[in-house]
Amino acid sequence: MHPETRLPEPRPVGPRIWEIPKSFRPDMRVPARVFASEELLQQIRRDRSLEQLINVATLPGLAAPVMGMPDMHEGYGFPVGGVAATRYPDGVISPGGIGFDINCGVRLLASSLRREEVEPYVHPLLHELSRSVPTGYGRSSRDLAFSGKKLDRLLEEGVALLVRQHGIGWEADLPYIESRGTIPGARAAEVSDRAKQRGGDQLGTLGGGNHFLEIQYVETIYDRRLANAFGITEEGQITVLIHTGSRGLGHQVCTDYVRRMDSAMHQYGIRVPDRQLACAPLDSREGRAYFAAMCAAANFAFCNRLVIAHRVRLAFEHILGKQFGDRAGDLRTVYDVAHNIAKLERYGDEVLCVHRKGATRAFGPSAEELPDRYRGFGQPVFIPGSMGTRSYVLAGRDESRELSLSSTCHGAGRAMSRAAAKKQVHGGELRRELAERGIVVQGASNQELAEEAPQAYKDVDRVVDVVHEAGIATKVARLRPIAVMKG
């Protein structure tokens, strides 16, 4: 703990908004704000995430208060659920503000099939998905690998290359992926050979930890106008939620540049209260190189989710095609959005580098980047719950620009560590409990199930209520799983 840090008492400054003023600690450059209910704030105070958010408020070049979302919990340097914006090009960029799983994110697919049509086939469908989508740490794709110039092109061109030259995914997917699945500024030359070796054969894989693929149904629609705009048309409709990122490639990019920036900070006169906040000016050699490598890793993650979505469609066709014909594989992309990334975005007269770590972009109805279909409605936002609980679809609001730098939460947020969860939960019992509730789980050991148990996470309903009540995003629909494939 920083010698001058003690757990502060944040003061309320708005609906569900709490603030620690920059006068709290002499090295703070901006205030630290937290979006939370009183109950969630007390949960946040149990780990080091509030101290970490205060540390983030000391970084050079910050242009706005640093922010913690209601799912905030302790992370590497930055808290997970943290948002920080630095001025471009004079402010810094910090790999810890994006995290090791660059562009970990979510994609939602919507089907015209209904729950009662799919439930009789859940077991063979989940089996087919497990054959098609490898899960677990270090797992490789069985039939898809990129290397050399082919991988370099993928890192720089993103999903358009897969769709147009490899026949993977649909052209119609592209407008419904953040930045159309290709973030400009990516340079494969800034990605190390080690990173490329780790990730080149991992496209179409889930990974481990909290990554998952869920078959869900629409349980509740809160706003039918917004739901219809997103293609969520009725209760009982089947959806598929994919949650994964850039795999070993992104992890290695973060590892490489944390070390590089830690060694370079003294050249720029930068001192940070935690070495995990290693950073460099955006216009420095290290800053430019990291940003280019991060964009490349983000493009890889968009490609990973595209490949998984493609395989989900094929699996649905294979298992359900005889019964439902063309409807079986007709799974439309609602949206694909990152929640571990830094993006250059314009706010007023300034271009800011917005770090979102465990936080989701939530552009409002007037945002120019939205696809035509969502103009006037807002960007779809997906908030997965813990395993076996609900997930949410929200819509970004224009008010979020001022309130939260167009950002919202990304999930329920951990309430206990993985080690603590394993001590309190028996994975086998949890598997049986989920089965009794009509949720089939596949692809995880009992130990891994225990780590991701619902009681290890905050209550997603309360987390989502905070961002809805604060005016950041609007609740659109609630989804409930019937099958879970774990990483």
Cis peptide before 89 (omega within 30 of 0): yes
Residue of 243, 251, 310, 410 marked catalytic:
410
Cα angle for residues 401, 402, 405 (degrees, 5° grid): 50
- Asked if 202 and 249 touch (Cβ cutoff 8 Å), the reply is yes
266 is catalytic: no
> Which residue is it, tokens 């994110």?
105
Which are the contacts of 368, defined by CB distance < 8 A and separation ≥ 6?
none
Three-state secondary structure of the chain: CCCCCCCCCCEEEECCEEEECHHHCCCCCCCEEEECCHHHHHHHCCCCHHHHHHHHCCCCCECCCEEEEEEEECCCCCCEEEEEEEECCCCEECHHHCCCCCCCEEEEEEEEEEHHHHHHHHHHHHHHHHHHCCCCCCCCCCCCCCCHHHHHHHHHHCHHHHHHHHCCCCHHHHHHEHHHHCCCCCCHHHCCHHHHHHHCCCCCCCCCCCCEEEEEEEEEECCHHHHHHCCCCCCCEEEEEEEECCHHHHHHHHHHHHHHHHHHHHHHCCCCCCHHHCCEECCCHHHHHHHHHHHHHHHHHHHHHHHHHHHHHHHHHHHHHHHHHHHCCCCEEEEEEECEEEEEEEECCEEEEEEEECCEECCCCCCCCCCHHHCCCCCEEEECCCCCCCEEEEEECCCHHHHHCCEECCCCCECCCHHHHHHHCCHHHHHHHHHHCCCEEECCCHHHHHHCCHHHECCHHHHHHHHHHHCCEEEEEEEEEEEEEEC
Read off the tokens for 363: 């552009």
Query: Looking at the annotation, which residues are catalytic?
Result: 410
